[in-house]
C-alpha cells in the first residue's frame, strides 16, 4: 500500500509539537552550552561534539559534515525513513490526530494506531486484575511476602501497582476473554498469554508470581515482571517484546524517578525491580533499573536527558554477572565520559549486598553517603584490574600493567592522564618511592605508544572514515562469501595488524565470527591460522552467513534488529557485490593496502605535526655555540694518527653538533620519509591488483 497523503494540518501540528531538543536528545546525548546544546554528530564518524542544536531556531547543524535541518529531517536522515513515515511516527508518539486526504486510507491508518491503544488498555486491565488478586485469599502468601520479607508499606504497594498472578492456567485469560471481551490473539500480542504447543487454545504466561507492572515514561503500562514465589525457574519472568514493549528502550521506574533525577541532577541505575522499589520506599527516588538486559545506549540517553549534569551512578551486584553488566554499560558511554559529556560513577556496596539488603541493615542515610563517595568509572576499572592479583608474581604483574596501559591510553587530557599515571605507579610499586618514579616513566612511554598505534582519530581527514568503512566491509564480505580463502584472509589481517576493526558493528561481526570458529576449531587452532602456520581449510565448512544471523538475533550487546539492519549488506550481498568477489586475492590485497595506507597517512600527519613543533637549531647557531665554547688549541694528535685538516675537523664538529641539537626533528623527518616510502609501496600493491585485472580482461578479449 502506498503511503497516505497527509493533510497539511497534521504536518503543521507535528512540526509545532516535536521539539528539536527532545527529538535529537532521544538519539544523541546533548549537553547545554549557553543557549544551545551540543553533542556528537551521528551522521559521520565523530569523536568530539561538533553538532549544535538550537531550541530557539528549532534547528540542528553539524560543523564537521554539514548535516542540518529540523526535527523531521533529523529522523528522516537517521532512520532512513520517508517524510510521511516520520510524521506518522511523531504523531503517534505525541498522540496527535492524523488526517489524510483519502478517506479509506485514513480509516486504515486509524486502525493501525488504535491497535497500540488496545494493547495499552488490555495491559492496564490486566494490571488491575493482578492487584485485585493480591487482596484475594489466593494472594495471601504473595501479600505476606511483600509485607514481611520485603518490608513494603501499603503506600509503596499502591504506588508501584504490585499484584499477584494466581496459580491457575487460565485465570487472567478467562477474565479478559469472558468479562472484558478481548480475543486470545490480542492477549498474546500483549504478551499476557502463550499458545499451547498443540495449537489448541492458550494459557496464562504468569502463574503464582508477584507481579510488577512496567511503565513507559508517560506512565502507560507496557509489560510486567513476575517474581516466582515457590522457587520455580526462572526466578524473574519478564513480558516478551511486543509492539509497545522494547526492553532496550525503557527503564523500570523512570516514570516515577524523572522529577527526582532532575532535582538531584543524577540518576542511580540498579539491577532489579525490588532494588528500585526499596530505594523509592526509602526516599531515594532517583533510582531506575534496566529490564533484564545490559544497559543500552538508548537507555543511557534517556537518563542524560533528565539531568543537566549528565551524572550517572551504576549500582550493580558484585558478582560476575553484575561486574560484566557494569563493564558493558561503561563501554556504551566510555567515549562520552572521556570527552566530559557525562559523569559516570560505579558503586559496589560492601559485603556484596544489593541495595535492598543494604537499606534494611544500614538505612538510607548511609546509602546516600556511599553514593556521594562512589568512584569514577576509571577508578573502579583500575580496582577491577588489580583486584585479586598478586603483584609479587611477574606474570600477574605484567598482565596488570598491560591492562592498565590500555585503560590509561584512553585518556585524552594530559593533566588527568598524569594524575592517573602517578596513582597507578604508586599502587604497583607497593609504596616504594624510587620504584614508583621508574614505573610512572615506563607507564607513560607505554601509554604514548598505546594512544598512537593506529587508534588515534586526531589525524583523520574528512572522507577517510567512509573509505575505511568501505574497505572493512569489503574484507568482511570476502571472508563471509569466499570460504576457501578464510585462512589466507586471517593470516593477512594479522600480518598487517588490521584484525582490530575500527567500526563498532564491524568489530561485533568479527567477534561473532571468531566465536563461532573457536567453538568449532578451538582457540589454539584459530590462533595458529592467524599466525599463518595452519592453512585452516576447515574454516570453509562453516555456513557463516546463516549461523551469524541466528547468533546476532540472540545477542544482547546491541539492539538485534538495528545491528542486523546494518550488517545485512554483508550477510546478503547484491548481485553486483557478488560479481566483485571474482578475484578474492586481488581484492584482499587492495582492501588491506587501502586500510594500511590510511593508517600510514594519519601517522604521517602526526609526524609532520611533531616535526613542526620542534625548535630547529641553524648551522649559524651551531657555529656560534662552538665559538662560545672558546678557541682552545687543538690537542696534539697521536703518533699513529694521521693529521686532519683543521677545516675538515671543524666541519665534522659542526655536523655533529647540528645532529645532536636537532636529533628529535631529524628523527621525525626520517620516520616521515620511511612512512612515505611505505605509502608508495602500498600504492604499487593497489595498482598492481588493478593492472592484473585489466590484463586478465585483455587476455580474455584476445583469446
Strand arrangement of the beta sheet that strand 68-69 belongs to: 31-33, 36-39, 51-54, 59-62, 68-69
What span, in angstroms and rounded, lies between the C-alpha atoms of 244 and 579? 42
DSSP tally for the chain: helices H, then strands E = 29, 15
> Residue 660 and residue 667: Cα distance in Å, rounded?
11
Q: How far apart are CA 428 and CA 398, in angstroms?
A: 10
Query: Pairing state of beta strands 51-54 and 59-62?
Result: antiparallel
What is the pLDDT at residue 652? 67
From CA 275, how far away is CA 316, in angstroms rounded? Answer: 10
Distance, in Å, from the CA atom of 686 to the CA atom of 689, rounded to the nearest integer, reads 5
Residue 532 DSSP label: T
- Confirm if 325 and 316 have CB atoms less than 8 A apart: yes
**C-alpha cell of 508?**
561485533
User: In the prediction, which pLDDT does 556 show?
Assistant: 40
Query: 681 in helix, strand or coil?
Result: helix
My answer on whether omega of the bond before 242 falls inside 30° of 0, hence cis, is no
Per DSSP, 574 falls in state -
Burial of 543 (0-12, 13-18, 19+ CB in 10 A): exposed
pLDDT of residue 644: 47
**pLDDT the model gives residue 654:** 63
- The DSSP annotation for 595-613 comes to HHHHHHHHHHHHHHHHHHT
Chunked mean pLDDT (size 10), the chain, 703 residues: 67 84 88 85 84 86 88 89 86 80 60 77 95 95 94 94 94 91 92 88 94 91 93 87 87 92 91 93 94 76 80 87 83 78 89 86 92 93 90 86 87 77 89 83 77 45 60 89 92 82 81 84 85 89 80 47 65 75 83 77 64 56 63 48 52 64 61 70 62 50 50
Please report the pLDDT score of residue 623 as a whole number.
63
Half-sphere exposure of 338 (CA within 13 A, CB side): 18
Neighbour count for residue 499 (Cβ, 10 Å): 16
Cell of 432: 616504594
- Give the H/E segment covering residue 59: strand 59-62
Beta bridge partners of 59: 54
| Whole-number Å distance between alpha carbons of 136 and 514 | 54
Return the half-sphere exposure (C-beta side, CA atoms, 13 A cut-off) of residue 492.
21
Amino acid at each position: 500500500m502506498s503511503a497516505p497523503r497527509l493533510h497539511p494540518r497534521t504536518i503543521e501540528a507535528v512540526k509545532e509539537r516535536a521539539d528539536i531538543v527532545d527529538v535529537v536528545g532521544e538519539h544523541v546525548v546533548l549537553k547545554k552550552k549557553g543557549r544551545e546544546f551540543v553533542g556528537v554528530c551521528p551522521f559521520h564518524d565523530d569523536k568530539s561534539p561538533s553538532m549544535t542544536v538550537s531550541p530557539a531556531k528549532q534547528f540542528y547543524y553539524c560543523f564537521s559534515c554539514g548535516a542540518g535541518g529540523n526535527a523531521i529531517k533529523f529522523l528522516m536522515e537517521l532512520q532512513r525513513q520517508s517524510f510521511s513515515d516520520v510524521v506518522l511516527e511523531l504523531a503517534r508518539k505525541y498522540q496527535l490526530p492524523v488526517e489524510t486526504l483519502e478517506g479509506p486510507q485514513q480509516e486504515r491508518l486509524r486502525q493501525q494506531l488504535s491497535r497500540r491503544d488496545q494493547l495499552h488498555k488490555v495491559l492496564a486491565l490486566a494490571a488491575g486484575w493482578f492487584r485485585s488478586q493480591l487482596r484475594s485469599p489466593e494472594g495471601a502468601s504473595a501479600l505476606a511476602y511483600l509485607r514481611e520479607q520485603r518490608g513494603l508499606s501499603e503506600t509503596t504497594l499502591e504506588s508501584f501497582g504490585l499484584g499477584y498472578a494466581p496459580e491457575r492456567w487460565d485465570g487472567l485469560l478467562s477474565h479478559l476473554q469472558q468479562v472484558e471481551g478481548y480475543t486470545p490473539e490480542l492477549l498474546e500480542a500483549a504478551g499476557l498469554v502463550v499458545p499451547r504447543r498443540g495449537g489448541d487454545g492458550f494459557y496464562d504466561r504468569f502463574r503464582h508470581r508477584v507481579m510488577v507492572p512496567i511503565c513507559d515514561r508517560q506512565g502507560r503500562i507496557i509489560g510486567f515482571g513476575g517474581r516466582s514465589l515457590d522457587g520455580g525457574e526462572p526466578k524473574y519472568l519478564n513480558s516478551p517484546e511486543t509492539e509497545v514493549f522494547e526492553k532496550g528502550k525503557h527503564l523500570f521506574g523512570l516514570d516515577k524517578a524523572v522529577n527526582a533525577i532532575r532535582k538531584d541532577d543524577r540518576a542511580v541505575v540498579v539491577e532489579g525491580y525490588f532494588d528500585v522499589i526499596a530505594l523509592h520506599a526509602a526516599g531515594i527516588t532517583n533510582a531506575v533499573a534496566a529490564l533484564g538486559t545490559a544497559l543500552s545506549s538508548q537507555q543511557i540517553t534517556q537518563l542524560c536527558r533528565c539531568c543537566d549534569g549528565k551524572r550517572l551512578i551504576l549500582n550493580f551486584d558484585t558478582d560476575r554477572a553484575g561486574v560484566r553488566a557494569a563493564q558493558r554499560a561503561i563501554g556504551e558511554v566510555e567515549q562520552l565520559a572521556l570527552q566530559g559529556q557525562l559523569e559516570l560513577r560505579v558503586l559496589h556496596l560492601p559485603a556484596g549486598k544489593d541495595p535492598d539488603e543494604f537499606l534494611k541493615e544500614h538505612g538510607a542515610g548511609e546509602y546516600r553517603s556511599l553514593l556521594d563517595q562512589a568512584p569514577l568509572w576509571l577508578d573502579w576499572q583500575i580496582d577491577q584490574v588489580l583486584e585479586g592479583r598478586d603483584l609479587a608474581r611477574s606474570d600477574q604483574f605484567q598482565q596488570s600493567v598491560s591492562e592498565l596501559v590500555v585503560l590509561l591510553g584512553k585518556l585524552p587530557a594530559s593533566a588527568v592522564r598524569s594524575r592517573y599515571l602517578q596513582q597507578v605507579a604508586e599502587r604497583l610499586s607497593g609504596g616504594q618511592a624510587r620504584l614508583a618514579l621508574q614505573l610512572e616513566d615506563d607507564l607513560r612511554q607505554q601509554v604514548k605508544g598505546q594512544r598512537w598505534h593506529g587508534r588515534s582519530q586526531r589525524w583523520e581527514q574528512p572522507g577517510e572514515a567512509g573509505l575505511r568503512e568501505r574497505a572493512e566491509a569489503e574484507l568482511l564480505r570476502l571472508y563471509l562469501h569466499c570460504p576457501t580463502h578464510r585462512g589466507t584472509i586471517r593470516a593477512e589481517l594479522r600480518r598487517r595488524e588490521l584484525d582490530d576493526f575500527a567500526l563498532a558493528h564491524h568489530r561485533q561481526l568479527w567477534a561473532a565470527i571468531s566465536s563461532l570458529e573457536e567453538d568449532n576449531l578451538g582457540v589454539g587452532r584459530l590462533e595458529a591460522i592467524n599466525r599463518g602456520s595452519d592453512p585452516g581449510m576447515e574454516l570453509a565448512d562453516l555456513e557463516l552467513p546463516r549461523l551469524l544471523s541466528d547468533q546476532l538475533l540472540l545477542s544482547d550487546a546491541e539492539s538485534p534488529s538495528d545491528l542486523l539492519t546494518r550488517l545485512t549488506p554483508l550477510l546478503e550481498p547484491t548481485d553486483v557485490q557478488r560479481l566483485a568477489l571474482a578475484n578474492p586475492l586481488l581484492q584482499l590485497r587492495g582492501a588491506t593496502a587501502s586500510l594500511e595506507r590510511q593508517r600510514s597517512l594519519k601517522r604521517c600527519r602526526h609526524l609532520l605535526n611533531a616535526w613542526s613543533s620542534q625548535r630547529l637549531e641553524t648551522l649559524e647557531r651551531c657555529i656560534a655555540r662552538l665559538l662560545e665554547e672558546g678557541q682552545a688549541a687543538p690537542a696534539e694528535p697521536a703518533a699513529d694518527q694521521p693529521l686532519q685538516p683543521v677545516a675538515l675537523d671543524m666541519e665534522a664538529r659542526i655536523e655533529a653538533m647540528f645532529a645532536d641539537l636537532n636529533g628529535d626533528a631529524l628523527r621525525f623527518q626520517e620516520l616521515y620519509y620511511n612512512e612515505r616510502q611505505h605509502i608508495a609501496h602500498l600504492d604499487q600493491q593497489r595498482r598492481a591488483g588493478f593492472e592484473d585485472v585489466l590484463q586478465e580482461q585483455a587476455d580474455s578479449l584476445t583469446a
